[in-house]
Amino acid sequence: MILIKYAFSLKALCADRRGLTALEYGLIGSALFGAVFTGFPVLANNLSTGFSGIGTSL
């Protein structure tokens, strides 16, 4: 009896696609976070160099 209930719940879980959409959004969010986390130090360094050049010329 328990095995039959488990089989039906597993079948229903495989048919449900809502979790897949949440997983896709999570992957997109983590990819964006990785891009920002990787690109921010480069941007910060370029801004620091630019402002230092402006400060020196003043």
44: buried, middle or exposed (CB in 10 Å: 19+, 13-18, 0-12)?
A: exposed
- pLDDT at residue 28 in the model: 93
Q: What is the pLDDT of residues 2-57, one digit of tens each?
A: 767 766 676 776 666 666 777 888 899 999 999 988 888 888 888 888 898 888 88
- pLDDT at residue 7 in the model: 67
- pLDDT at residue 8 in the model: 67
Its pTM stands at: 0.50
- pLDDT at residue 39 in the model: 87
Q: Token match 């495989």: residue?
A: 14
Between CA 48 and CA 54 the distance in angstroms is 10
Rg of the chain taking only CA atoms, in angstroms: 25
